[in-house]
Amino acid sequence: MIYGIGTDIIQISRIEAALARNGDRFAQRILGPEEYAKYQRRRDKVAVRGIRFLATRFAAKEAFSKAIGLGMRMPMTWRGVQFLNAPGGRPIAVANGVLKHYMDDNGLSAQVTLTDEADYAVAFVIVEKNA
């Protein structure tokens, strides 16, 4: 059963500007440890790939916070959920800490899709209540 849906679109230049103002502290605030490692690898190869990666994860976390119905308040935090990849490449939501407990206690799981283009990153999340 669908518990909630969320979508977010972000202009990639906003993420680029935040990085220019705050450096990697901005990325560290938004990304979990596995996401941050992937961001660094992409950024080190091609800077724009790192920025786009960060933008899609920012959008995904905003969309997730809407779908779960909490917004950005406890137990939902920027680093409380990571958007990683399944072996085939499909993006997956991996909650941790108190957010994981909240999801487990309420029988919730999430499906996510991410995309980016030259100027925008978009995320769509469906949170389901397991029977």
| pLDDT value for 111 | 97
Query: pLDDT confidence of 116, banded at 50, 70, 90?
Result: very high
* pLDDT higher than threshold 80 for residue 131: no
Question: Does the domain at residues 2-129 carry the CATH identifier 3.20.10.10?
Answer: no
Is this model's pTM higher than 0.75 or not? yes
Give the 3-state DSSP-derived string for 85-120, with helices as H, strands as E and coil as C.
ECCCCCEEEEECHHHHHHHHHCCEEEEEEEEECCCE
Query: 82: number of CA atoms within 13 Å, CB side?
Result: 18
CA 91 to chain centre: 10
* pLDDT higher than threshold 90 for residue 12: yes
Q: Using one digit for the tens of pLDDT, what is the confidence trace for 52-76?
A: 999 999 999 999 999 999 988 899 9
CB 30 within 8 A of CB 54: yes
Residue in 95, 109, 88, 113 with CA at minimum distance from that of residue 35: 95
